[in-house]
Structure 1
Amino acid sequence: MKHFVVLLRYLVPLETVEKFVVVHREYLATGYAKKVLLASGPQNPRSGGVLLARGNSREEIQDFCNGDPFCKEGVAEYQIIEWVPVKWLPEFEVWKD
Structure 2
Amino acid sequence: MFILELTYTAALERIDEALPQHVQWLNGHYAAGTFLASGRKVPRDGGVILAVGQDRARIEELVATDPFVRLGLTEYRVTEFLATVTAPALEAHRQQLPA
Larger Rg: 2
The letter for the 2-side match of 1:85 is A
Higher relative contact order (CA 8 A, sep 6+): 1
Unaligned runs of 5+ in 2: none
Post-superposition CA distance 1:33-63 (Å, at most 9, x none): 1111111111011000000001121111111
Maintained 8 Å contact 2:5/2:76: yes
Percent identity, aligned pairs only, is 34
Higher strand share: 1
TM-score by length of 2: 0.90
The Cα offsets for residues 47-82 of structure 1, whole Å up to 9 and x where unpaired, read as: 000000011211111111111100000010000000
Q: Give the paired residue count.
A: 95
Quick check: 1:95 aligned with 2:93? yes
Q: Let me know the Cα RMSD of the aligned residues.
A: 1.2
| One-letter code aligned to 1:76 | T
Cα distance in 1, alignment partners of residues 9 and 41 from structure 2: 14
Secondary structure class of the residue paired with 1:79: strand
- CA displacement at 1:5 relative to structure 2: 0.2
Following TM superposition, by how much is the alpha carbon of 1:94 offset from its aligned partner in structure 2, in angstroms? 2.6
| Matched position secondary structure for 2:16 | helix
Does the aligned pair in 1 maintain the 2:5–2:46 contact within 8 Å?
A: yes
